[in-house]
């Protein structure tokens, strides 16, 4: 049995705003084991990145309220003093951010930023840290890394900036890596290379990974377990094979149907989930997906469904999942009008 690295229990992250307290993450729970890649999927605005930033405690704590627990190796990160959190952040738990251009400091060279991260969490001197920075850049596929370490973020391409962020995150060989859309700016060849690097380091270090992505193809390729989020809540959770072969929630099924198929009927338009994710300051009563769901009824619009265990390690938040499953309704889902 692999070691449980991280256990998120009923996490609730809220922000103090002019409109009052707005909850972006509402009762989220999941675990990450060593050697496991957990995929977190959902549309923009579903709370994926806020969940990741809550784990790292990167949010402005004067404007944020946390509830629940984030247990890393038995320590509740939400209760740790900032000094102890700094020792863990970037060292034992590292994060790859989505937007490399705004995450890298424009007035420091790439090498300086990676070396600074290495020296902050190791006993290496400046020369040794720069050598390791070159090694990490080479590992992520950047050509001529000896030259690139002396360049500034604006002097290299978006793809190279993203790889530099990945090199920085992996430089301290973390036990847990949080990757927020790590391959967004990369072409498919480099994307495959980066995913391979992450997979190799996961095996070498027995590292746990939380992979936040919109790309279900990436999820199918590298993830072992999947959490599907919608408007701040987990609405389905299962192993990757189950999510793709036997989804129970209409939202999960809709996401899967949005994937273009090479052998699909090209005369038909691509499937879309109609509507948009509601605003956090105007969360509807009942099921949060009801306004976009083809199976919703009056109960769905009034009563919020609980997160139930439908099978071993398969959780679902839907009033009608058993009925939908019996009817085989996902085979011919109508697009909501």
Whole-angstrom distance, CA of residue 157 vs CA of residue 146: 16
Concatenate the DSSP letters of all residues of 240-274 into one string: HHHHHHS--SHHHHHHHHTS--TTS-TTSPPP---
Q: Is residue 98 classed as helix, strand or coil in its secondary structure?
A: coil
* Closest-CA residue to 116 (of 129, 97, 132): 129
Cα→Cα distances 132→55, 126, 150, 213, Å: 27, 10, 14, 28
Is residue 173 classed exposed, middle or buried when 0-12, 13-18 and 19+ CB atoms within 10 A define those classes?
A: middle
Digitized pLDDT (tens) for each residue of the chain, 337 residues in all = 578 999 999 999 999 999 899 999 999 999 999 999 999 999 988 999 999 999 999 999 999 999 999 999 989 999 999 999 999 998 999 998 877 667 889 999 999 999 998 998 888 999 999 999 999 899 888 899 999 999 999 999 877 888 898 889 888 889 999 999 887 767 788 788 778 888 888 888 889 999 999 888 889 989 999 999 999 999 999 999 999 999 999 999 999 988 777 776 777 777 888 888 999 988 999 999 999 999 999 999 999 999 999 988 899 999 999 998 888 767 544 333 3
Whole-angstrom distance, CA of residue 92 vs CA of residue 113: 18
Supply angle C-alpha 4, 24, 277, rounded to 5.
Answer: 110
Query: Residue 93: beta bridge partners?
Result: 89, 176
């Amino acid at each position: 049995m692999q070691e449980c690295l991280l256990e998120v229990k009923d996490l609730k992250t809220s922000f103090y705003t002019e409109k009052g307290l707005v909850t972006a993450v509402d009762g989220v729970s999941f675990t990450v084991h060593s050697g496991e890649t957990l995929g977190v999927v959902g549309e923009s605005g579903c709370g994926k990145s806020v969940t990741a930033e809550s784990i790292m405690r990167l949010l402005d704590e004067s404007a944020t309220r946390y509830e629940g627990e984030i247990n890393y190796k038995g320590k509740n990160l939400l209760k740790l003093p900032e000094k102890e959190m700094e020792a863990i952040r970037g060292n034992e738990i590292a994060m790859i951010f989505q937007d490399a251009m705004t995450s890298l400091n424009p007035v420091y060279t790439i090498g300086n930023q990676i070396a600074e991260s290495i020296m902050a969490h190791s006993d290496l001197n400046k020369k040794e840290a720069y050598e390791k920075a070159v090694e990490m850049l080479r590992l992520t596929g950047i050509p001529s890394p000896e030259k690139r370490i002396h360049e500034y973020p604006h002097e290299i391409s978006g793809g190279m900036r993203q790889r530099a962020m990945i090199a920085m995150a992996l430089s301290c060989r973390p036990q847990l890596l949080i990757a927020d859309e790590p391959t967004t700016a990369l072409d498919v060849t480099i994307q495959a290379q980066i995913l391979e690097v992450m997979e190799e380091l996961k095996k070498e270090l027995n590292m746990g990974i939380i992979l936040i992505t919109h790309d279900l193809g990436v999820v199918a390729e590298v993830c072992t377990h999947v959490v599907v989020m919608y408007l701040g809540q987990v609405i389905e959770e299962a192993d990757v094979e189950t999510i793709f072969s036997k989804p129970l929630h209409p939202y999960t099924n809709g996401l899967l149907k949005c994937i273009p198929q090479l052998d699909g009927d090209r005369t038909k338009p691509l499937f879309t989930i109609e509507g948009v994710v509601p605003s956090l300051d105007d969360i509807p009563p009942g099921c949060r997906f009801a306004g976009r769901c083809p199976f919703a009824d009056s109960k769905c619009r009034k009563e919020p469904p609980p997160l139930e265990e439908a099978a071993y390690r398969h959780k679902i938040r839907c009033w009608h999942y058993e009925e939908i499953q019996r009817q085989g309704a996902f085979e011919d889902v109508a697009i909501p009008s």
